[in-house]
Amino acid sequence: LDPDTFAGESRAVIDFLAGYYRDVDKYPVQSEAEPGSLRRLLPDTAPEHGEPVDGILEDVGQHILPGLTHFQSPNFFAYYPANASTAGFAGEMLCAGLNVAPFTWAASPLATELECVMLDWMCKLMCLPDRFLFSGGGGGGGGGVLHGSTCEAVICTLAAARDRALSKLTHEGILKLVVYASDQSHTTFQKGARIVGIPPSNFRIIPTSASSSYGLTAESVRHAVEADLASGLVPLYLCATVGTTGVGAVDPVGELGEVARRYGMWLHVDAAYAGSALICPEFQGYIHGAELADSVSMNPHKWFLTNMDCCCLWVASPAQLTSALSITSEYLTDVSCQETVDVVDYKDWQIALGRRFRAIKLWVVLRRYGAAGLRAHIRRHVEMAKWFEQAVKADERFEVVAPRRFSLVCFRLRPRPRYEGDHAVDALNRKLLNAVNASGRAFMVHTVVDNKFVIRLAIGATMTQMRHVRNAFHLIQEKATQILPP
């Protein structure tokens, strides 16, 4: 690694990316690439000799960019956002450039310490209970860690909950453990439960309905748990979501916490998307009751101006997490300070050994924009979503399907006498979504609630401005006019 070459080639990459951001709204938002189209262009084997970076960037521009789905386009309204920002990129460069691996305290002490401080900062910004703070932060002996994704974080909490429960059962007890989630919870819980050995038949998907705005009710959980207890099963883990993926629903954290406490279940609060909004006081009511949770997670890489990847996980009892995940190898023990206590070895808080220095990225983002800048970022998108929601409501061809909580609006063409029947309405909405996406001028995805096909407009891309949301609405109206039966 020659520093001068490094500087020159890195500058070339930055210039390339700056050009990309200048032009990103000119590409069709959703990729139009056919499966196999790139394989046909690339050689069968890796090059024997190195090539100059200029040629590589030229190929990226010519062959890769046109086939991407452009998450950074201001017209990207699909899934949830994956924010990039100038500070997020600077932080990512520092992470990649320093390239340390803070898996034990000794492996990179201040990288670990920065991570602990960042998790405390985020905990305080989101007004999470003090029990999730490291003791050094004036908190209650909890703590946090940065993972790459919510999926990884959830697997770790499931493993901790499983081992906590198994310490009171025989090993075969694993066959009795039950995990509860709603029909709106992310599928990561089902996958995670399978990975940690919970029998698939012991994963309960509790239905939600419009009457609870698609939130999980304490009553329905109690009902499911009582039925399992009567069958000799053991309630293990309950997932509460603040901002579900499909419709942005919010589960009543406090009420679910009381149920979890009563039956000895681990309560995890998944705030992957909406956790970012919790830095604004007007949204903090949604997390009330989190003092009854065992763990909470959120993804700064969604809506917090932090480039991929970054997931904050807090646990009230780090010892429960580390006793499930800790493993030692002789080469990882520190000969100089074997007696050191009270240091964090993050290898014991995650699945992998190796890990990235994500804390430096979050530090740069938090310092560069400040809490006030980040709140303004969130509120800007929420205002746009409010405008879109009103615009949809004002056009009598459409209906809003679930209450808007944050910056996600779920809507559809409403049933009309001329095209009665669920299938006909669903088919029209599907056709509408396809027409919008095929235009290349915006990209959205759908969900299904109450057996209805629903279009989701998730606002939150960093470069999205009001005019992009207005254009998206006019595009939807234009396509609706084209496809609706006369």
Give the long-range contacts of residues 331-338, CB within 8 A, separation 24 or more: 332/103, 332/104, 332/107, 334/104, 334/105, 334/106, 336/106, 337/106
In the complex, the smallest distance separating the C-beta of residue 247 from ligand PLP, rounded to whole angstroms, is 11
The binding track of 211-240 with respect to ligand PLP, each residue x by CB under 6 A or -, is ------------------------------
Residue 286 touching ligand PLP (CB under 6 A) = no
Alpha helices in 31-85 (DSSP H): 37-41, 53-59
Q: Which amino acid is at 59?
A: D
Q: What is the DSSP string of 243-292?
A: S-TTT--B--HHHHHHHHHHHT-EEEEE-TTGGGGGGSGGGGGGGTTGGG
Nearest residue (CB) to ligand PLP, 244 versus 437? 244
108: Cβ contacts below 8 Å, ≥ 6 apart:
100, 101, 102, 357
In the complex, the smallest distance separating the C-beta of residue 290 from ligand PLP, rounded to whole angstroms, is 15
In the complex, the smallest distance separating the C-beta of residue 274 from ligand PLP, rounded to whole angstroms, is 8
In the complex, the smallest distance separating the C-beta of residue 225 from ligand PLP, rounded to whole angstroms, is 22
3-state secondary structure 202-240: HEEEECCCHHHCCCCCHHHHHHHHHHHHHCCCEEEEEEE
Nearest residue (CB) to ligand PLP, 188 versus 307? 188
Residue 188 touching ligand PLP (CB under 6 A) = yes
Identified binder of ligand PLP from the candidate list 157, 208, 217, 245, rule CB under 6 A:
245
The binding track of 138-167 with respect to ligand PLP, each residue x by CB under 6 A or -, is -----------xxx----------------
Nearest to 384 by CA among 443, 465, 455: 465
**Paired tokens of 237:** 């883990």
In the complex, the smallest distance separating the C-beta of residue 104 from ligand PLP, rounded to whole angstroms, is 25
Antiparallel, parallel or unpaired: β 445-449 and 452-458? antiparallel
Contact 259, 218 (CB under 8 A): yes
Nearest residue (CB) to ligand PLP, 272 versus 444? 272
Identified binder of ligand PLP from the candidate list 311, 362, 428, 476, rule CB under 6 A:
311
Q: What's the distance, CA 66 to chain centroid?
A: 26
Scanning residues 390 to 419, which ones bind ligand PLP (CB under 6 A)? none
Identified binder of ligand PLP from the candidate list 30, 75, 241, 447, rule CB under 6 A:
241
The binding track of 259-278 with respect to ligand PLP, each residue x by CB under 6 A or -, is -----------x-xx-----
In the complex, the smallest distance separating the C-beta of residue 64 from ligand PLP, rounded to whole angstroms, is 22
Residue 189 touching ligand PLP (CB under 6 A) = no
CA distance 221 to 271: 19
Identified binder of ligand PLP from the candidate list 77, 80, 237, 304, rule CB under 6 A:
80
Contact 343, 90 (CB under 8 A): no
Residues interacting with ligand PLP, by CB under 6 A?
80, 149-151, 186, 188, 241, 244-245, 270, 272-273, 299, 311
